[in-house]
Amino acid sequence: MKTLLRSQDLWDLVEQGYADPDDEGKLRENRKKDSEALVIIQQAVHERIFSWIAATTTSKQVWLILQKAFQGDSRVLVVKLQSLRRDFETLMMKNGESIADFLSWAMTIISQMQTYDETVTDQTIVEKALRSLTPKFDHVVAAIEESKDLSTFTFIELMGSLQAHESRIN
């Protein structure tokens, strides 16, 4: 949702709202942009959820309602984020699990963390993934750590390397 609103240059308006300027033209422009954002959000939600926001008049009001409904208040947010951090920290590849499945699960957790505005760098993800692989990948981990600069090695590059290696050994 944020991506769509950003692409339409509407996200700042949704997140911060707008003040009624003295300039009538600017006010009209702000209201028009707000209405555009409101339509995008309303079209994106399920009809059951639409009833929660139908009476709201600004995109910021709608966003606050949706944020509270799906993320909870700040205490709930902290608890959910802590739970996701724990899931990420304790993530380990299982014997017999494919690289694709393992990395997909890791990215699911990371995406959820980013939903709560948690910043997770590629380096953090790469290092965690390398630590979490099964022992059958130890030699690959050693080769990557020796040959790559982990501060610039991306998750996508890691995924490609690991999947190529897995296909060779299978």
Residue that has been written with the tokens 């380990």 in this structure: 92
Domain chopping of the chain, boundaries: 2-71, 74-169
| CA separation, residue 157 to residues 36, 55, 98, 113, 161 (Å) | 39, 47, 17, 21, 6
Q: What does the pLDDT read at residue 1? A: 82
pLDDT tens, residue order, the chain (170 aa) = 888 999 999 999 999 998 877 888 888 999 999 999 999 999 999 888 899 999 999 999 999 998 888 777 778 888 999 999 999 999 999 999 999 999 999 999 999 999 888 999 999 999 999 999 999 999 999 999 999 999 999 999 999 999 999 999 87
- DSSP secondary structure code for residue 150 in this structure: T
Tell me the whole-structure pTM to 2 decimals.
0.65
